[in-house]
Chain A
Amino acid sequence: MLAESGILLSVRSGSPFLIGSPERSDVSLLVKVLMNMAMSVSNTGERRSQQNTRPACNTTSFQKKSRSKLVSIPGTRPSVQNGQLIVSTGVTSLDYVIEEDKYDSYSRMLLKYFLAEGVVCGHHVFLGSARDPPDEIMQDLPAPILDDIPSNAVNMGQVTACDSEDQGSMKIAWRYQNLPKVQTALASSSRFGHYYDASKTMARELREAVKCSTFFLPHELPAESHAEPSPISEAYRLLLRSIQELIRQEGFDGTAPQKSRNILRIGLHSLGSPLWADDICCEEKPTQASSLTSFLYGLRALLRSSLCTCMVTVPSHLIQNRAIMDRVTRLCDTAIALESFRGSERETNPLYKDYHGLLHVKQTPHLNCLVCEAPDTKDLAFKLKRKQFSIERLHLPPDLSDTVSRSSKADVAESARLLSSACGGLATSNKHLDF
């Protein structure tokens, strides 16, 4: 199974002139992975009417016509492109690698969103951490903003139009109307993604309703380690073994009966940091350079043959050897790097005043297909508002200052004058030309 790196990519063509389109972005949809289960899900051969099948959606490049006849697991959706199950914020058997921002604030946020989505969808959640006790992280999950739909209706597949956004015709910026919308529309009744309120924590009952397994390295690592030489270190080996055991016990590798199949969401915090007994962050030529990459390879193997999805955060700014980070990226399916403006000179830069940081898409997945879904642009920025974590195309704020326009008008008049004199004399003198 391969964990592929997380996906991220709900991008919205953010233009300051759009009128009439409500702002809706959901981090879970943002992280859309078009990955499919590596393990081929057996076709049930019958169209389940409860399946959340989505009709053709041509508003975004990430949504496709859905094919029916796939196993129905709550919180998942089949992808048309390659017949895999898509989980919101990811695709099963994929793992995401998120390169942490410097103070690990936003990457932790994304990890929590990922886990929270798992709780809300009823998936089994696994959390591995070396620094913070997993229970603390679990208690800190953001609260979902739920509609007043009773939970029984969760599996009722109401086929709703994908482009449920109110398009509205644009009056001023009508040229932008023809731009393809990259935003993924969220039809709330299909329960495919949820919004979260970052200022509230999730209710305990909700959290305790799902099965949660944890791995906290200080508790698991034996005092004496008698490891034989191996490409993988003791800490990672224990983590890999515990994930393998969990998959076998709960039957995520396909041994569970079809009716009770579920997805395992694995969240791994800060892999590669010294707390995982790894020295790639300390040395330029580390002694166990291939430990993390070997672990990721094993994780990939586990994910590819089971119904799992995994999100890993890595403190890449600490890793001194660029080559290792490249290898980590290649071993994952989706890789994104967060660069927050906090504490850097960009925080005060007026260009970036609307955002909290930049988001770089390093790699996009292409499982079971030749071509990878690439976003329109790779200049993305993110901002964390109270009720959303939104990722948008980076765009410059509108040029509204007076001084600038005045000088530009003067320039325009000047050039117009020159032009007209060259063309043979029209009386323009101080006339402003408005384009």
Chain B
Amino acid sequence: MMLPDLGSLLGFSTEKIEKGDFILLSDRNADASFLINHFLSLYLRAGCKVCFLGLVQSFSHYSAVALRLGVNLVQAREQGQLVFLEGLKDSVGQLLQQGPDSEAYPMGFLRGSQTDLRSLFRFVQRSVGGAGEWSPSILLVDDLSVLLSLGVSVEAILDFSHYCRTTVCHQLQGNMVMLVRVGEDEDDEEGPELLLKALTHQCSLALSIQGLPTGYCRDIHGQVEVRWKERGPGAAGPGGALAQKKLLQYKVHDKGVSFFARGTSSAVL
């Protein structure tokens, strides 16, 4: 179990996967990519069918990290459990407008002739459907905000995430995990902040990673704020706010992450 503290807090385990969850990961002045790696390992171990949009790193990077967490991505891909989009690989050809222009390319929006992420969504649709022996279907995106850097509008990204959520969470009763990275200044940025706010309203669980408010520390890498909707009979409906909150601090190690309550880091005690 990779995240024992966080997992038990949220009711996550490889034996029991919630259905229809939209998990939003965000970071501000920190790096939340370790969370995406953990979720990837978690879902693969639980036997889910995973579609991973790796837009910012190469496959070998995720593979190397996953090996440390005990999961073999190469094998999962060969067996069909994992469908991996290596965004970087096709991007140069699309940016330089080499090769034919077709909707079949998931990264085709880089050409500039498409204003939306239709081709990327079609790829997701093809990948999560027909799960077969692996179930439920999971979509992981690392990360959504890089699309803003590539000239895609906020509206197009929100449309894309809406389509994905409808397909993955509602139709297929699977889960979706997306990472959004925002900058330091809360008021300044338009793109990522808007994206984050809109997606926060739609998600059922939000993990926000931040640097420590008091500054940089080598032993405590940051803090994570967990907000989630109440489940069960007394809970608000799907439109309910993320009522439950918890604040923890974390430190990333070579093979995992440790979470602890504020002020209880081993560096302090």
A and B physically associate: yes
| A-to-B contact residues, CB < 8 Å | 1-2, 38-40, 82-83, 228-232, 237, 240-241, 244, 289-290, 293-295, 297-298, 300-302, 304-305, 322-323, 326-327, 330-331, 366-372, 374, 376-378
Report yes or no: A294 in contact with B110, Cβ–Cβ below 8 A. yes
Report yes or no: A244 in contact with B65, Cβ–Cβ below 8 A. no
Cross-chain contact of A370 among B58, B65, B146, B151 (Cβ < 8 A): B65
Most A CB contacts (10 A, CB to CB) among B69, B95, B216 go to B95
Most A CB contacts (10 A, CB to CB) among B56, B150, B190 go to B150
Within 8 Å CB of A232, what residues of B? Answer: 95
**Residue B189 interfacial (CB < 8 Å):** yes
Report yes or no: A290 in contact with B149, Cβ–Cβ below 8 A. yes
Q: How far is the CB of A101 from chain B (nearest CB, A)?
A: 21
Report yes or no: B216 in contact with A331, Cβ–Cβ below 8 A. no
Cross-chain contact of A228 among B57, B112, B190, B216 (Cβ < 8 A): B112
Report yes or no: A290 in contact with B150, Cβ–Cβ below 8 A. yes
**Residue B60 interfacial (CB < 8 Å):** yes
Report yes or no: B61 in contact with A38, Cβ–Cβ below 8 A. yes
* CA gap between A235 and B254 in the complex, in Å: 41
Q: Which B139-171 residues have C-beta < 8 A from chain A?
A: 146, 148-151
**Residue B39 interfacial (CB < 8 Å):** no
* CA gap between A83 and B68 in the complex, in Å: 13
Report yes or no: A231 in contact with B112, Cβ–Cβ below 8 A. yes
Within 8 Å CB of B255, what residues of A? Answer: 370
* CA gap between A235 and B119 in the complex, in Å: 27
Q: Which B63-85 residues have C-beta < 8 A from chain A?
A: 64-65, 68-69
Report yes or no: A378 in contact with B216, Cβ–Cβ below 8 A. yes
Report yes or no: A327 in contact with B149, Cβ–Cβ below 8 A. yes
Report yes or no: A367 in contact with B61, Cβ–Cβ below 8 A. yes
Report yes or no: A230 in contact with B111, Cβ–Cβ below 8 A. yes
Report yes or no: A229 in contact with B95, Cβ–Cβ below 8 A. no
Q: How far is the CB of A393 from chain B (nearest CB, A)?
A: 13
Cross-chain contact of A2 among B57, B149, B185 (Cβ < 8 A): B57
Report yes or no: B61 in contact with A237, Cβ–Cβ below 8 A. no
Q: How far is the CB of A225 from chain B (nearest CB, A)?
A: 14
* CA gap between A326 and B221 in the complex, in Å: 19
* Contact A38/B37 with A294-B149, A297-B150, A370-B253 known, Cβ cut-off 8 Å: no
Selected A-B contacts with CB under 8 Å, 17 pairs:
A1-B88, A228-B113, A229-B112, A231-B150, A231-B151, A240-B92, A240-B96, A241-B96, A298-B92, A305-B58, A322-B183, A326-B183, A327-B149, A367-B61, A369-B68, A370-B254, A370-B257
Mark B36-57 against chain A: 1 for CB-CB distance below 8 A, else 0: 0100000000000000000011
Cross-chain contact of B64 among A83, A244, A297 (Cβ < 8 A): A83
**Residue B31 interfacial (CB < 8 Å):** yes
Report yes or no: B60 in contact with A302, Cβ–Cβ below 8 A. no
Within 8 Å CB of B221, what residues of A? Answer: 374
Q: How far is the CB of B105 from chain A (nearest CB, A)?
A: 14
**Residue B181 interfacial (CB < 8 Å):** yes
Cross-chain contact of B151 among A294, A367, A374 (Cβ < 8 A): A294
* CA gap between A386 and B23 in the complex, in Å: 54
* CA gap between A289 and B189 in the complex, in Å: 13
The total of interchain contacts (Cβ-Cβ below 8 angstroms) comes to 130
Report yes or no: A231 in contact with B110, Cβ–Cβ below 8 A. yes
* CA gap between A383 and B257 in the complex, in Å: 37
Report yes or no: B149 in contact with A293, Cβ–Cβ below 8 A. yes
Nearest B residue to A323 by beta-carbon distance?
B189
* CA gap between A276 and B192 in the complex, in Å: 26
7 additional A-B residue pairs with CB within 8 Å, beyond A301-B92, A369-B254, A370-B255: A228-B97, A290-B148, A293-B149, A300-B88, A305-B89, A323-B192, A369-B65
Q: Which B104-143 residues have C-beta < 8 A from chain A?
A: 110-113
Report yes or no: A231 in contact with B95, Cβ–Cβ below 8 A. yes
Most B CB contacts (10 A, CB to CB) among A244, A290, A294, A297 go to A297
Q: Interface size bucket, B side?
A: 35 or more
**Residue B261 interfacial (CB < 8 Å):** no
Nearest A residue to B216 by beta-carbon distance?
A378
Within 8 Å CB of A229, what residues of B? Answer: 112-113
**Residue B173 interfacial (CB < 8 Å):** no
* CA gap between A305 and B59 in the complex, in Å: 10
Within 8 Å CB of B89, what residues of A? Answer: 301, 305
Report yes or no: A240 in contact with B252, Cβ–Cβ below 8 A. no
Q: How far is the CB of A60 from chain B (nearest CB, A)?
A: 14
* CA gap between A244 and B89 in the complex, in Å: 13
**Residue B184 interfacial (CB < 8 Å):** yes
* CA gap between A377 and B252 in the complex, in Å: 17
**Residue B91 interfacial (CB < 8 Å):** yes
Most B CB contacts (10 A, CB to CB) among A39, A231, A240, A305 go to A231
Most B CB contacts (10 A, CB to CB) among A82, A368, A376 go to A368
* CA gap between A311 and B56 in the complex, in Å: 19
**Residue B218 interfacial (CB < 8 Å):** yes
Report yes or no: A237 in contact with B149, Cβ–Cβ below 8 A. no
Nearest B residue to A82 by beta-carbon distance?
B64
Report yes or no: A370 in contact with B37, Cβ–Cβ below 8 A. yes
Q: How far is the CB of B190 from chain A (nearest CB, A)?
A: 8
* CA gap between A339 and B169 in the complex, in Å: 48
Q: How far is the CB of A82 from chain B (nearest CB, A)?
A: 6
Nearest B residue to A244 by beta-carbon distance?
B92
Q: How far is the CB of B42 from chain A (nearest CB, A)?
A: 14
Q: How far is the CB of A367 from chain B (nearest CB, A)?
A: 6
Report yes or no: B95 in contact with A298, Cβ–Cβ below 8 A. yes
Report yes or no: B253 in contact with A371, Cβ–Cβ below 8 A. yes
* CA gap between A370 and B63 in the complex, in Å: 11
Report yes or no: A38 in contact with B60, Cβ–Cβ below 8 A. yes
Within 8 Å CB of B88, what residues of A? Answer: 1-2, 297, 300-301, 304-305
